[in-house]
Structure 1
Amino acid sequence: MPKLDSTDGPAHIVGPLTPHFYAPDAMRPLRAKEHFLQADTFVALHQHPWPQLTFSTRGVIRLSTQDGSYIVPPSRALWVPADMPHSITLIEDAELRTIYLHSWVSPAWDKCEVLEISPLLRALMLALDTTPDHQPGGDPHAAQRERWIAPLLVDELERATQIRIDVPLPADKRLRQLCETLLRHPAASATLAERAAAIGASERTVARMFRSQLGMSWQAWRQQAILAHALPLLARGMPVSQVANASGYATDSAFCAMFKAATGQSPTAFQHKKTR
Structure 2
Amino acid sequence: MDNENSKTDLQTLAVSFKEKFIEHWTSFEKHESWRDIFTVYPSRHAEETDEDGEEITHYVHKTHALGFSLSPEEAQEGWTRQMETHCNFLFPPMLGLLEKEAAAVFDEILTSPKFEKNRQHAVLSLHAFKNALDSLTKEKDASGLRVDLQSKMLIVPAALQFEVDRQIPREYLEGLGVTRIINLALNNPHAWFLITDAPNGFKCFERQKPELDVWAEEGGRHVTTEKIVDVEPKLLFKISARYSFGCTNPNAVFASTGTGERK
TM-score of the pair, normalised by structure 2? 0.22
Structure with the higher strand share, 1 or 2: 2
Q: TM-score, normalised by structure 1?
A: 0.21
Larger radius of gyration: 2
